[in-house]
Amino acid sequence: MQKALKYGLYNQETREKEDPELSFSFKLPLAIMNKWDRCGLTSNFLANYQSATFPQPEKTSSLLSTIINELIENAIKYSSSADKQITVIIKHFQNTIQIKTINFAEEETTQKLKTYILKLSENSHENLFLSQLEENSQREDNHSGIGLLTLINDHNLKLGIRIQKEDALYEIHVKAELETNDL
Ligand SMILES: Nc1ncnc2c1ncn2[C@@H]1O[C@H](COP(=O)(O)OP(=O)(O)OP(=O)(O)O)[C@@H](O)[C@H]1O
Ligand SMILES: [Mg+2]
């Protein structure tokens, strides 16, 4: 098996050894998720459930929902049409909330993700955000490349990406972590 390509949080996997206080995993069929309102409904539900025990549940839920929505939208948008479902996993550790998606992508899509990872590694997030904004002023599709950078810059989000070749497709894990103090 080829070695996985790892970025960010996947290079510091210590957290995986800790037991989460709350954890749930959802398999979402692409056939029903390709409508964005379903995406919003799912994100709101997961965020509401997760934020019930926080001191400001509405504020926490709104932020979590934005993050979950971005990750789910990406997992759907960049999934291979040969794939049938994506997975969303949410874990609440003592001081951290972790949101993870798993999807399968084609070679070409995965190359774009690798290029994106390279940009993330070589530039400061602030500079990359500004240069993406400039690049995008011409674009009209929904691939503007600022979704994750916005979350990183605005909400102190930590990001991890893991790419593993699986037969003809690539298994993509995207993980985002937030400190509960920031919620
Ligand atoms: N789950 C994923 N699978 C494969 N590639 C991904 C995934 N998530 C992100 N990417 C890649 O990372 C890039 C950055 O993602 P990001 O969410 O920041 O931007 P976007 O989805 O292109 O546009 P926006 O979110 O601003 O509408 C994407 O353009 C895509 O190439
Ligand atoms: Mg996006």
Alpha carbon of 46 to ligand 2 centroid (Å):
19
pLDDT for the residue 1:
76
**Residue 68 reports pLDDT greater than 90:** yes
Higher pLDDT residue, 170 or 139? Answer: 170
Per-residue pLDDT tens over the stretch 92-111: 998 999 999 999 999 999 99
| 81, 96, 122, 168, 173 from 99: Cα distances, Å | 23, 10, 25, 26, 10
- Compare 12 and 1 and report the one with higher pLDDT: 12
Whole-number Å distance, alpha carbon 130 to ligand 1 midpoint, is 16
Which residues are near ligand 1 (CB < 6 Å)?
Answer: 70, 74-75, 78, 101, 103, 105, 109, 112-113, 116, 142-149, 172, 174
What does the pLDDT look like over 142-173, one tens digit per residue? 788 899 999 999 998 999 999 999 999 999 99
Sorted by where each starts, the structural domains of the chain and their CATH numbers stand as 5-106+156-182 (3.30.565)
CB 116 within 8 A of CB 74: no
Q: List all residues 6 or more positions away from 34 whose beta carbon is below 8 Å from its beta carbon.
A: 76
Calculate how far, in angstroms, residue 147's C-alpha sits from the geometric centre of ligand 2. Answer: 4
Model confidence pLDDT, tens digit, residues 123-137: 999 999 998 888 887
Scanning the chain, the segments in alpha helix (DSSP H) are 30-33, 36-51, 57-77, 107-122, 125-136, 147-155
Considering only residues 156 and 1, tell me which one the structure prediction assigns the higher pLDDT: 156
Q: Write the pLDDT tens digit of every residue in 29-66.
A: 988 876 667 889 999 999 999 999 899 999 999 999 99
Among 20-34, 61-75, 79-93, where is mean pLDDT lowest? Answer: 20-34
The structure tokens listed for 169 are 């497709």
**Starting at the edge strand that comes first in sequence, how are the strands of the sheet with 96-105 ordered?**
5-8, 158-166, 169-179, 96-105, 85-92, 22-29
The pairing of strands 22-29 and 85-92 is antiparallel
Task: Check whether 74 has a pLDDT greater than 70.
Answer: yes
- Predicted confidence at residue 17, as pLDDT, reads 67
